[in-house]
Amino acid sequence: MSCPDRRTASTKKGEHVTEVPDEAWESDDCVRRTVVMPAVLAERLAARAEQRGLSISDLLTEYAEEGLRRDGSGAA
């Protein structure tokens, strides 16, 4: 049974992850969301972030900005 105030997102494997409204928020300069990814990738990202002295959020932001620039999808 699902709660009406929860949103469910499909994952690549067809599984579902429920996003609880209290776990997501937005402000003028940032957004907090749950990101679902393979555990092996999460571990690699955590290790790289630690090596570079960054938070995982900062590393993901950097990678996203680089990818968008490379794809020609606008400036960060």
Residue extents of the structural domains in the chain:
1-36, 37-76
Are the CB atoms for 46 and 56 separated by under 8 Å? yes
State the Cα–Cα distance between residues 63 and 58, nearest whole angstrom: 9
Pick 18 or 25 by higher pLDDT. 25
pTM: 0.61
Q: What is the pLDDT, as a whole number, of residue 26? A: 77
Q: Is 10 left (phi over 0), alpha (psi -120 to 50) or beta?
A: beta
Q: What is the pLDDT, as a whole number, of residue 12? A: 54
SS3 32: strand
Q: What is the pLDDT, as a whole number, of residue 4? A: 34
Sign of the Cα pseudo-torsion (9, 5, 56, 30, in order) = positive
For the segment 33-41, the average pLDDT, to the nearest whole number, is 90
Q: What is the pLDDT, as a whole number, of residue 3? A: 34
State which of 11-15, 23-27, 28-32 shows the largest mean pLDDT.
28-32
